């Protein structure tokens, strides 16, 4: 179970906590880590990319009734080649020379990489990232980043692109029907605007180098007669199972993207970790920075004033324990940094069981009968529905975690104290 995390870096991190099964105001600072708090504040002041202070009020919980009409998974007539008419001036063909295109009002708020993906569906994910990283894509004459948001009226410089030639798709083909049936089998919620999928462990959300089977590619079979296809709203790590939100319309994609930017989405994760935290309920606040290694990249705790670090906040609560060896934790991330929960659990010396990147405890052995897979589940998501009301979806334990729960005698119906944690 040794990982490649290496020694924990010094830097602006703090763990705060309060007694178990108390109300939200009891997620207070823990005395053992007060010394880290002042250092974290200094780091926060020095870092150029400060955390956004935008906060959202709590939302009501409840399912929005499904709209009548045909579900996404029913067979459709062959798709028309045109777009849905909302994307004015979209490039219909691959640019063979440099183009300058204007961002429309309908495209405002889109990420740079999603903009290119929407305009040129044949572009591979890795190619999009490469041309942006090399500075070949410019916004208003300046270099940009894949995650930057576009504004209406901005001009994007698009270099000559190389599209992967997609395999011919026959409407109603056996492969499409199998994909449609698979997506239906993992659907937790669906209405006219939104899908919530129960992503299996081991299935990638998006393509990349060497990844050809992924959920984003599967959504192509749900493209409607107007050429509009479902869009991912957020991501999960390949080995994380659970709730994944998908927008079926551009309207829903824009509204849900704003929900995540404003931190109005409420997400709860379950994890099985090594050991038992001394503090039963706590708040972890650190700065994380990406570190590139020879064969992989990972997130580590940033050093004081380190460039490119991002603030990350996670609340956790011990739900149940299995002796001194293992604990079932419920986690509520306030921010959504890459590998945030995995890095934070490793930071407090309770890494998630089966984590190949961040588990590095010495002389720790996996109990017999348990699978050496990442024990992390996106258990529940609650978000405002784009047309009113709320979406509230819960994912069951994936097979390998259910096996561990059964082996350890853990009860998935047990009260989850993380619901008492604050929202910021």
Is 237 an active-site residue?
Answer: yes
**Which of these is catalytic: 191, 193, 237, 392?**
237
Query: CA geometry: angle at 368 spanning 362 and 370, to 5°?
Result: 90
CA 407: distance to chain centroid?
A: 29
- In this structure, how many other beta carbons lie within 10 angstroms of the beta carbon of residue 175? 11
Residues forming a β-bridge with 269: 331, 378
Q: Which helix (H) or strand (E) holds 174?
A: helix 174-185
Concatenating the DSSP letter of every residue in 339-403 gives: THHHHHHHHTT-PBTT-TTT---TT--PPTT--SS--EEEEEEEEE-TTSSEEEEEPPPPHHHHH
Around 11, how many Cα atoms within 13 Å sit in the side-chain half-sphere? 26
Angle subtended at Cα 87 by Cα 85 and Cα 89, rounded to the nearest 5 degrees: 105
**Cβ atoms 253, 233 nearer than 8 A:** yes
The torsion defined by the Cα of 36, 42, 267 and 422, in degrees rounded to 10, comes to: 70
Largest CA distance in the chain: 64
Nearest to 238 by CA among 293, 325, 296: 296
Q: Which two tokens stand for residue 378?
A: 């996106």
Give the active site residues: 237
């Amino acid at each position: 179970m040794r990982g490649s995390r290496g020694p924990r870096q010094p830097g602006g991190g703090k763990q705060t906590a309060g007694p178990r099964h108390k109300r939200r105001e009891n997620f207070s600072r823990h005395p053992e880590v007060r010394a880290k708090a002042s250092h974290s504040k200094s780091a926060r002041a020095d870092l150029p990319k400060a955390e956004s202070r935008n906060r959202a009020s709590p939302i009501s919980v409840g399912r929005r009734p499904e709209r009548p009409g045909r579900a996404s998974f029913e067979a459709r007539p062959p798709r028309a080649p045109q777009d849905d008419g909302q994307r004015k001036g979209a490039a219909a063909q691959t640019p063979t020379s440099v183009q300058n295109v204007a961002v429309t009002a309908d495209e405002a708020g889109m990420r740079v990489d999603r903009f290119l993906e929407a305009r040129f569906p044949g572009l591979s994910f890795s190619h999009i990232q490469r041309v942006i990283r090399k500075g070949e894509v410019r916004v208003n004459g300046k270099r940009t980043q894949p995650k930057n948001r576009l504004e209406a009226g901005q001009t994007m410089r698009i270099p000559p692109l190389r599209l992967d030639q997609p395999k011919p798709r026959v409407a109603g083909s056996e492969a499409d029907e199998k994909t449609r049936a698979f997506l239906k089998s993992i659907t937790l919620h669906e209405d006219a605007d939104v899908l919530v999928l129960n992503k299996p462990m081991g299935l990638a959300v998006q393509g990349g180098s060497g990844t050809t089977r992924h959920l984003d590619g599967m959504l192509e079979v749900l493209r409607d007669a107007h050429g509009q296809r479902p869009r991912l709203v957020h991501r999960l790590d390949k080995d994380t199972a659970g709730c994944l939100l998908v927008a079926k319309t551009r309207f829903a994609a824009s509204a849900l993207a704003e929900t995540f930017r404003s931190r109005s989405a409420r997400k709860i994760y379950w994890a099985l970790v090594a050991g038992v935290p001394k503090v039963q309920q706590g708040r972890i606040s650190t700065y994380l920075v990406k570190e590139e290694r020879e064969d992989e990249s990972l997130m580590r705790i940033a050093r004081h004033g380190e460039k490119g670090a991002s603030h990350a906040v996670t609340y956790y609560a011990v739900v149940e324990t299995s002796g001194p060896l293992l604990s079932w934790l419920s986690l509520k991330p306030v921010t959504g940094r890459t590998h945030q929960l995995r890095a934070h659990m490793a930071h407090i010396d309770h890494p998630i069981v089966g984590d190949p990147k961040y588990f590095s405890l010495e002389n720790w052995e996996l109990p017999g009968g348990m699978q050496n897979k990442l024990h992390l589940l996106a258990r529940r998501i609650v978000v405002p529905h784009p047309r009113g009301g709320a979406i509230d979806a819960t994912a069951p334990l994936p097979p390998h975690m259910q096996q561990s729960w059964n082996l350890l005698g853990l009860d998935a119906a047990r009260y989850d104290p993380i619901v008492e944690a604050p929202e910021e």
